[in-house]
Amino acid sequence: MRNPQTITLAFTGASGMPYGIRLLEVLLAQGLKIYLIYSKVAQIVAQQEMKLTLPSQAKEAEAFFKQRFNVMDGQLCVFGREEWFAPVASGSNPADAMVICPCTMGSLAAIATGMSQNLIERSADVMLKENRQLILVPRETPFSTIHLENMLRLVRSGAVILPPNPGFYHHPQSVQDLIDFVVARILDHLGVKHALMPRWGEEH
pTM, rounded to two decimals: 0.95
Q: What is the pLDDT along the chain (204 residues), one digit of tens a residue?
A: 457 899 999 999 999 999 999 999 999 999 999 999 999 999 999 999 999 999 999 999 999 999 999 899 999 999 999 999 999 999 999 999 999 999 999 999 999 999 999 999 999 999 999 999 999 999 999 999 999 999 999 999 999 999 999 999 889 999 999 999 999 999 999 999 999 988 887 765
CATH superfamily ID and name for 6-190: Flavin prenyltransferase-like (3.40.50.1950)
Give residue 1's pLDDT. 47
- 58-67 pLDDT, tens digit per residue, is 999 999 999 9
Cα–Cα dist 204/196, whole Å = 12
Alpha helix (H) residue ranges in the chain? 17-29, 40-50, 58-69, 105-112, 119-129, 145-156, 175-190
For the packed helices 145-156 and 105-112, what is the interaxial angle rounded to 10 degrees?
50
The residue extents of the domains of the chain are: 6-190
Q: What is the pLDDT of residues 115-162, one digit of tens each?
A: 999 999 999 999 999 999 999 999 999 999 999 999 999 999 999 999
Share of the chain above pLDDT 70, in %: 98
Question: What phi, psi does 137 have (nearest 5°)?
Answer: -115, 85
